Amino acid sequence: MLKKRIIFTLLYDRGFFMLSRNFRLQKVGDIKWLQKNYNFSQISFSIDELIVLDVSRDAYDQEKFREHLRILTEGCFTPIAAGGGIRTLAHAQTLLRSGADKVVVNTLIGENPQIIQEIASEFGEQCVIAAVDVKEVEGQFTVWTDNGTKKAADNLQPWLELIAEMPIGELYLNSIDRDGTGQGYKLELLDSLPETFPIPVIIAGGAGNHNHLSQGLKIDMVDAVATAHLFNFIGDGLVQSRNCLYEEKFDLAMWDAKRTNGLRDCLIP
């Protein structure tokens, strides 16, 4: 059995890292701010993967994004996935050659799945993460693309069935309703998964403390939990969260045994 994972997600918009609430963005700081507040050479021991998403709304600056991606990879020893605006094989290639180990696709799922096939054929399906952003509308889970601005499907379940047939390595299942709220994951989304879904699942959207991470990890079909809540995890927040999960006996990788000594108090909701 594969170990469970904790993933930290960074949201990027034309040179700045962002805080998101229900997909409404607020500028937080640039790469220097990030380096000051998040020492990734240390945080690497508290997370299992880093995801960096370019969520620029007006126009993507791919060159600047790749430059900042390279800076992040220099100090981070965990796998890094990158995405945002990927429409071509060439775009995916540039991200993977800029330090990313995986790419995250979203809009391509409905617009041009052939490109996903091409990326998987060249780099392997384990390099492809399908991100699905979900909003509840009149009691129905609907799928949104283009940074949450375009409704792509009225029903989540057929969308997930479509993904199950694609060369996808992981599913990043994200709740727009819970995004940035710190109220916990919308675990009901998991009920839409096909009974024999073959792809590892990352649940995202809503985590604000270690208890939320724990609730997600307790579910068998969840392989990883993700958080993009910048302020809740500044300082040693991620370290404390992982240590609390060790105490709960979750089967997490032990990257640095020294960090498990003298466990500190768990984060308070």
Full residue range of the structural domain in which residue 98 is found: 5-260
Q: Are 132 and 164 in contact (CB under 8 A)?
A: no
Residue 86 domain-assigned?
yes
Which of these ranges, 56-70, 84-98, 165-179, has the smallest mean pLDDT? 56-70
Note the pLDDT of residue 260: 41
Residue 269 domain-assigned?
no
User: Could you count the other beta carbons within 10 Å of the beta carbon of residue 227?
Assistant: 27
* Structure-block tokens of residue 166: 């694609």
Tens digits of per-residue pLDDT, 143-188? 999 999 999 999 999 999 999 999 999 999 999 999 999 999 999 9
- pLDDT above 60: residue 237: yes
Q: Which of 13, 48, 54, 133 is catalytic?
A: 133
- pLDDT above 80: residue 67: yes
Q: Are 30 and 17 in contact (CB under 8 A)?
A: yes
Output the DSSP codes for 145-200. Answer: ETTTTEEEES-HHHHHHHHHTS--SEEEEEETTTTTT-S---GGGGGGS-TT--S-
Q: Which of 23-37, 55-69, 210-224, 237-251 has the highest mean pLDDT?
A: 210-224
Give, for 36, the enclosing helix (H) or strand (E): helix 31-37
Residue 250 domain-assigned?
yes
CATH classification of the domain holding 164? 3.20.20.70
Note the pLDDT of residue 266: 42
Residue 266 domain-assigned?
no
Q: What is the signed CA dihedral for 159, 220, 241, 10, rounded to 10 degrees?
A: -20
- pLDDT above 90: residue 259: no
Residue 46 domain-assigned?
yes
Note the pLDDT of residue 124: 97
Residue 114 domain-assigned?
yes
Q: Are 69 and 39 in contact (CB under 8 A)?
A: no
Mean pLDDT of the chain: 90
Q: Please indicate whether residue 133 is annotated as part of the active site.
A: yes
- pLDDT above 70: residue 55: yes
- pLDDT band per the 50, 70, 90 thresholds, residue 268: very low
Domain count across the chain = 1
Residue 60 domain-assigned?
yes
Tens digits of per-residue pLDDT, 137-147? 999 999 999 99
List the one residue out of 203, 212, 255, 202 whose CA is nearest residue 237: 212
- pLDDT above 70: residue 225: yes
Residue 268 domain-assigned?
no
- pLDDT band per the 50, 70, 90 thresholds, residue 267: very low
- pLDDT above 70: residue 119: yes
Which of these ranges, 33-47, 89-103, 215-229, has the smallest mean pLDDT? 33-47
